[in-house]
Amino acid sequence: MTDATDATALGGPVSAGDAAEAKGGAPADGAGPRGPLDAERLDEIEEGTDTAPWVAYARGRRHLLDGRTGRAHTALTEAAARLPGRADLAYHAAWSRLLDGRRTELTARVRPDRDRWPLICLLLDADPDLVLPSGTDERLAREAGPLAPLVRARLRMAEGRRPAGDLPGWEQLDLRGTTLPERLEALRTLLAAELGRGRERAVGQLARLPL
């Protein structure tokens, strides 16, 4: 049986590299799937009207995974600047500042009197001694809706206090309509609470959750 027949049997015309890989061999002459996109391959993608700023965003996330915090900061802050109304882009830009040691830059950009609770969590990570303006905790809890118990717990932990009472488990949270930053900070809050209680099994279960 020829390679062409094998390729057809696999579901239609495919490259010789794909056919070789499907048969258990290596792609011919570099053809076929190349695996996940790395930062260098993302650099090769030209941004257009429909892709900006998402190529920069993807590049920044990839740099974070690879531990290149400086390059991640450049890409993610560029993406956030292009769409300033996107909470997810602002959140990841703030993370890049925190991980790259730009704490002063982060504290200068996040507004405790205006920004939502995921950004305030990162602000408190950057400046643990920061005293939030009066009424901020209630505003954040009110805006968080069903996640309000986690917001109150997070603010207490930022002050060095334990959460008041038991927190709901992850499976008990109403996450409908929540953003990725809200889910990530909810998870980080529960992880911190369980670590503080020494519940290693619960920490492991939370760490394996798909978001």
Residue (of 152, 134, 146) closest to 170 by Cα position: 146
Residue (of 171, 120, 166) closest to 141 by Cα position: 120
Count Cβ atoms within 10 A of the Cβ of residue 196 and give its class: 0-12 exposed, 13-18 middle, 19 or more buried: exposed
pLDDT averaged over every residue in the chain? 84
Q: What is the CA radius of gyration of the chain?
A: 22
DSSP H or E segment with residue 89: helix 87-99
Range 124-149 average pLDDT: 95
DSSP H or E segment with residue 106: helix 103-109
Contact between 25 and 33 (Cβ < 8 Å): no
In the chain, % of residues over pLDDT 90: 68
**Residue 2 pLDDT class (50, 70, 90 cuts):** very low
Contact between 6 and 19 (Cβ < 8 Å): yes
Does residue 106 surpass a pLDDT of 70?
yes
What phi and psi values does residue 25 have, to the nearest 5 degrees?
Answer: -100, -175
Domain ranges across the chain = 1-33, 36-109, 112-211
pTM for this predicted structure = 0.78
Give the per-residue pLDDT at 44: 75
Tens of pLDDT along 150-190? 999 999 999 999 888 889 999 999 999 999 999 999 999 99
Tens of pLDDT along 34-45? 666 777 777 777
How far is 191 from 3, CA to CA, in rounded Å? 52
Give the per-residue pLDDT at 3: 42
Contact between 189 and 154 (Cβ < 8 Å): yes
How far is 82 from 123, CA to CA, in rounded Å? 22
Kindly give, in sequence order, each residue whose CB lies less than 8 Å from that of residue 109, ignoring residues fewer than 6 positions away. 94, 97
